Amino acid sequence: MTYTISEMTKEDYSEAYALWQRLPGIGLSDADSSCAIGRFLEHNPGLCFVARQDGQMVGTCLAGSDGRRGYLYHLAVDPIVRRQGIGQALVEKTLDALKAARIQKCHIMVFNDNDLGLSFWQATGWKRRNDIAILSYDLVSPETASPC
């Protein structure tokens, strides 16, 4: 089957969120609210994409940049259409957009227990780093945080 890839818009949010909720290995938080993703898309124009097959959203890839490094988030492909090259095509489209923005290196964060995700990334040439750890700090407590 054929699919199309287009830039993600705010109007794609509901379908994208529903896809993310269905997939193991995707961590969702307040940072994934409609308002927060809308701000993310505004801040990162031309870096986030969706794949559609027969009018249905079957994949997403969000990317952002700090001007120095790129970061991929929520690469998601519906299990019923996996193994058709959709994930790889989304990644290539996203990396091409980052290259066009003159970003030279890209990172992705994958949960340690996401064996499927780790296998995908390593099979497509990404290198697992054991020399760094990701640390997080809440600027606002989760209980009082506003999604926007």
Q: Which domains does the chain have, with CATH numbers?
A: 4-123 (3.40.630.30)
User: Do 23 and 61 meet the contact criterion of CB atoms below 8 Å apart?
Assistant: no
- Which two three-digit tokens encode residue 93? 């489209």
Name every residue whose Cβ is closer than 8 Å to that of residue 2 and which is 6 or more positions away in sequence. 53
The total of other beta-carbon atoms located within 10 Å of residue 57's CB is: 18
Contact 102, 91 (CB under 8 A): no
Is the predicted pLDDT of residue 142 greater than 70, yes or no?
no
- pTM of the predicted protein model: 0.87
Is the separation of the CB atoms in 107 and 64 below 8 Å?
no
Q: 89 versus 140: which is more confidently predicted?
A: 89
Strand arrangement of the beta sheet that strand 106-108 belongs to: 4-7, 49-53, 56-65, 70-77, 106-108
pLDDT in tens, 13-70: 999 999 999 998 888 988 899 999 999 999 999 999 999 999 999 999 999 999 999 9
Q: Nearest Cα to 87, choosing from 114, 49, 127?
A: 49
